[in-house]
């Protein structure tokens, strides 16, 4: 069974492994196998930093688990920004990204947010557009050859809260 749950400290090593493999192997169109770009992108993706992000009460971190293996990671910041969103290679196009997004969107609604925003990889643009995001500005150069694509989505008011 595939489930999404809040991340815990014990997940740090496996979660960062998912993130690093996702960037390295799935985001090739973004880093173009440029060594400097990849090194800069991966530089802060360490278990120590994951523990910091997890302990920040402004963040909501989730992982996707299947048969005790982590398949994905998502992090939402309380300012309405999705900071991280990565699946393990081989886990794409099974609805897992959508599951992570639903969990982050539900937390955003609980926090009373009216919109979400993020910087997408080139790879993920069609995914976010399928989830109702719209481009919110021109592509931004990040580092090396990496470009980010800003997106935003208005959330429905949550009248049940």
Ligand X SMILES: CC(C)(COP(=O)(O)OP(=O)(O)OC[C@H]1O[C@@H](n2cnc3c(N)ncnc32)[C@H](O)[C@@H]1OP(=O)(O)O)[C@@H](O)C(=O)NCCC(=O)NCCS
Chain residues binding ligand X by CB under 6 A are 22, 26-27, 85-87, 92-98, 118, 120-121, 123-124, 126-127, 130
Q: Give the shortest CB-129-to-ligand X separation in angstroms.
A: 8
Q: Give the shortest CB-159-to-ligand X separation in angstroms.
A: 26
- Nearer Cβ to ligand X (37/120): 120
- Nearer Cβ to ligand X (59/92): 92
How many other CB atoms sit within 10 Å of the CB of residue 91?
20
How many other CB atoms sit within 10 Å of the CB of residue 20?
16
- Nearer Cβ to ligand X (51/99): 99
Q: Give the shortest CB-52-to-ligand X separation in angstroms.
A: 19
**Closest-CA residue to 99 (of 65, 69, 129):** 65
Residue 149 sits at φ, ψ, to 5 deg, of -120, 110
Select the residue whose beta carbon is closest to ligand X and give its number. 97
Give 54-102 as a DSSP string.
HH-TTEEEEEEEETTEEEEEEEEETTTEEEEEEE-TT-TTSSHHHHHHH
Q: Give the shortest CB-40-to-ligand X separation in angstroms.
A: 15
């Amino acid at each position: 069974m595939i489930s999404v749950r809040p991340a815990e400290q014990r997940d740090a090593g496996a979660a960062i492994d998912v993130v690093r493999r996702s960037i390295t192997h799935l985001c090739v169109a973004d880093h173009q196998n440029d060594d400097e770009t990849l090194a800069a992108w991966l530089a802060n993706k360490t278990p120590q930093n994951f523990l910091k992000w997890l302990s920040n009460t402004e963040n909501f971190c989730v992982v996707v688990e299947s048969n005790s293996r982590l398949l994905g990671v998502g992090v939402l910041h309380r300012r309405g920004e999705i900071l991280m969103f990565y699946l393990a290679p081989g886990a794409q196009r099974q609805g897992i990204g959508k599951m992570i997004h639903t969990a982050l969107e539900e937390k955003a609604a609980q926090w009373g947010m009216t919109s979400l925003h993020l910087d997408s990889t080139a790879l993920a643009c069609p995914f976010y557009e399928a989830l109702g995001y719209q481009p919110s500005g021109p592509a931004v150069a990040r580092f090396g050859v990496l470009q980010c694509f800003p997106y935003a989505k208005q959330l429905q008011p949550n009248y049940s809260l």
